[in-house]
Chains A and B, each alone.
Chain A
Amino acid sequence: MSGRVIPMDSRASQPAPRASKADALEPIVVGVSFRSASVAVRERVAVAHEERAELLRILRETNACHEAMLVSTCNRVEVYGVGADAYRAIEHVAAVFASRVPGEDLRPHFYERKGRDAIHHMFRVASSLDSLVVGEPQILGQLKEAYEAAVNEESVNGTLGRIMHRAFHVAKRVRSETALGAGQVSVASVAVDLAKKIYSDLSGREVLLLGAGEIAESAARSLKAAGANRLLIANRSFDRAENLAKQIEGAQARSLGELPTLLEHADVVLVSTGSPGFVVTRELAAAAMKHRRGRPLFFVDVAVPRNVDPRVHDLDNCYRYDVDDLEQIVSEGMSLRKGEAEAAERLVLEELEAYLAWARQAEVTPTIVALRAHVRGTLAAELEKTLSGKLKHLAEDDRKALGVMLDAAVNKLLHAPTRALKGATEDPDGIHVVSSVRKLFGLPDALAEVDQAQNDGAPGIPAKESRH
């Protein structure tokens, strides 16, 4: 996707160390997803929760990226940012990713977007149109969580914050106005479906949840809802397992140390730990199978990096599916929801255009206000100077008449520029008119004063943010 670049803010060309009102900031996206890279690649660039703060700091270390947020899920690892120079920002983010996987060129797996395309991408991701399972609801929660983490690290403010809020708003519209999410195939429901191909009846089955990943947890809840009556939760931290077990009726916490025994009894194992290596090796699974007397064992590995050795799938009566395997199931359900997805895409495009128009408007209105203030202020100051000097003798009526004349002259003089500026909100390239006017009249100072009022009226920002 290559697209026209629309600077979101073109007040000045000088980049500053941190985002200031004068920066011309352009949004960018750099990342890998299930579309561009296999899970084997994704797991190498995936960012653990603990690493996130540090990585956000590194991303904003230079002045290439003024704002940045990091989304790392099992299906995508992406950086959303804004920078004065989009190309520089993209290069910087790509270099940071490259430094995480030394000695290997992962660049071909990465995609880059800037300007309009970057915003479009963020909207589509939030609306679950770019998901492995289109319409699945988890991604919005993951995005909000990533956004909040970035806010906590103070690595998001103004521009990126506005885009993300708008993205959340778009996602909400897509969910309420299309049936994309209705009767939805989620990773969780796909796991339940597959389990039902192995076990006709899930009642009496035992589900083992390893780790505390969100998708695995929701799959565990779905399996429980489908009849599985035993749910065991094991985690590296027993406390965390116990906390989760308390939230789910009938769930029990176990220590990860018991894993060999747990595998002997479980029927479905959902794995989503943050471990960098295999939690369930082939040997471990083979040993468990010996004690299971042929009872099948179904692994759903939604962890990135993967936690279950793929060779486990080769064992008799053992089935192992990872996130990439779910893609086929998605394509199966895709045709049914194609119409809904198209409607959602249209809605996203409509919102994108509305946002861009707003963004232009956000540039135009303060420019008009600042231009008028600048011209009128200059003339009024000069008039005031003359009235208190050479024309000191003028009567009050004459002074008023001069004031009226000045207003009329300002109106007439600024009529054409104001019209041109207003026309710029309709024109995708209108932003150039705005920046020209700003440059010609030297407006940044005047803009700073009206900027605050503008930000308060940004669309898509709820008065109080709703947490997902």
Chain B
Amino acid sequence: MNLAHAADLLLATIAVTYACASAAYFARLVGRSGGLASVGKPLLAVAASLHLGHFFLVATVVRACPVQGIHEATSFTGAAAAWLFLGASTFRRSSDARLEVVGAFIAPFALASVLAARFIGLGDPPAQVRSAILPIHVTAVLLAVALFTVASALAATYLLQEKQLKKKKIGGLLQRLPPLDVLDRASHRFLLAGFPLLTIGIVTGLVWIGRVGSEGSGIRQILTYAAWFLFAGVLFMRSAGGWRGRRAAWGTLLGFGCAVLVFLVYLARPGQARPQPGARSVIEPAGVIAPGAQG
């Protein structure tokens, strides 16, 4: 078995574990108890650990920066979101035990990030420019998006719970989901944590573009700014205009949607021929990125 196949096998295992975690959280969301419904968290922890192990392998065995290419970055975002959520749901206050069900949004996202990284688009063109700014840019953006992922999962749960209360559906779902204020507050906190990172990411991205002398992809930049303005708007309106609850949740989801689109556009952008499976992870550590490829 060569390295490429081993890497693919590991990714397949990670994907299957994420899928099982998604099913478990979903079972919990629809009111099952015991069995599958009780193992969502352990499964997600296993999947996220394997996922992290994957990056570790890439970094140590292959000796490549695990987040330099967009595919790895996408995959890394999923792992980071899973870890953030696991951390948040472990160090929660006891009254927020029902936050666990938010995993029904997080686990599928992590799965999607692995699948998207593996199956969408072409490989990274060889990097051409060395810079210290690039890792800062990538790390900031990835962490920001991971935080927004959790914020959006909480916002989606908020909207689900709010719908129950507005439609007066006093059923099991209402009982299983956390109270509105917990969801609203938690979503806001994750958004608040992610926003400065996104700002740093955009600023470093602009610096990078300036350095390599490229204007970057138009649509990608427009979507990035749209996401930034949406998040900024949500945060500003919340503190200045008392925007809470439904509007803030929709704003968060829209901003997140833009961020996801940036990734999708990036993943699917026309580029050079995609490397062999597994070999994708092997990025020239001292590689120079093509103008316009990053930003």
Contact = CB atoms under 8 A, between A and B. Distances in A.
Interface in A2-24: none
Given A197-B180, A199-B179, A295 B174 contact: no
A342 interface: no
Given A292-B242, A313-B166, A316-B247, A200 B171 contact: no
Nearest to A293: B242
Question: Chain B CB within 10 Å — which of A292, A294, A321, A325 has the most?
Answer: A294
A329 interface: yes
Interface in B230-253: 238, 241-248
A317 B165 contact: no
Contacts of B245: 294, 296, 316-317
- Contact residues on B (Cβ < 8 Å of other chain), bracket: 20 to 34
Interface in A308-358: 313, 316-317, 319, 321, 325, 328-329, 332
Interface string B247-268: 1100000000000000000000
B95 interface: yes
A198 B166 contact: no
A198 B180 contact: yes
A198 B165 contact: yes
Contact of A295 (B166, B170, B244, B248): B244
A294 B95 contact: no
B155 to A, nearest CB: 14
Contacts of B171: 328, 332
Contacts of B180: 197-199, 296
Interface string B167-191: 0111110100011111000000000
Contacts of A316: 245-247
A196 interface: yes
A243 B159 CA distance: 42
Interface string A296-313: 100000000000000001
Given A196-B179, A295-B244, A316-B246, A201 B95 contact: yes
A317 B245 CA distance: 7
A198 B181 contact: yes
Question: Chain A CB within 10 Å — which of B164, B238, B245 has the most?
Answer: B245
Nearest to B95: A200
B72 to A, nearest CB: 38
B284 interface: no
A294 B243 contact: yes
B91 to A, nearest CB: 16
A296 B244 CA distance: 9
A321 B245 CA distance: 19
A200 B166 contact: no
B215 interface: no
B68 interface: no
Contacts of B139: none
Given A294-B238, A294-B242, A295-B244, A200 B170 contact: no
Contacts of B181: 198-200, 296
Interface in B69-122: 95-96
Nearest to A317: B245
B168 A328 contact: yes
A317 to B, nearest CB: 5
A196 B171 CA distance: 14
A301 B38 CA distance: 38
Question: Chain A CB within 10 Å — which of B95, B182, B238, B242 has the most?
Answer: B242
28 contacts: A194-B165, A194-B170, A197-B164, A197-B174, A198-B165, A198-B179, A199-B179, A199-B181, A200-B95, A200-B178, A200-B179, A293-B242, A294-B238, A294-B244, A294-B245, A294-B248, A295-B244, A296-B245, A313-B166, A316-B246, A316-B247, A317-B245, A325-B168, A325-B170, A328-B168, A328-B169, A328-B170, A332-B170
Interface of A: 194, 196-201, 292-296, 313, 316-317, 319, 321, 325, 328-329, 332
Given A199-B180, A325-B170, 17 more contacts: A197-B174, A197-B179, A200-B96, A293-B241, A293-B242, A294-B243, A294-B245, A295-B242, A296-B181, A296-B244, A316-B245, A316-B246, A317-B244, A319-B166, A328-B169, A329-B170, A332-B170
Q: Which 7 interchain pairs have the tightest Cβ spacing? A: A293-B242, A294-B244, A294-B242, A200-B179, A328-B170, A329-B170, A200-B182
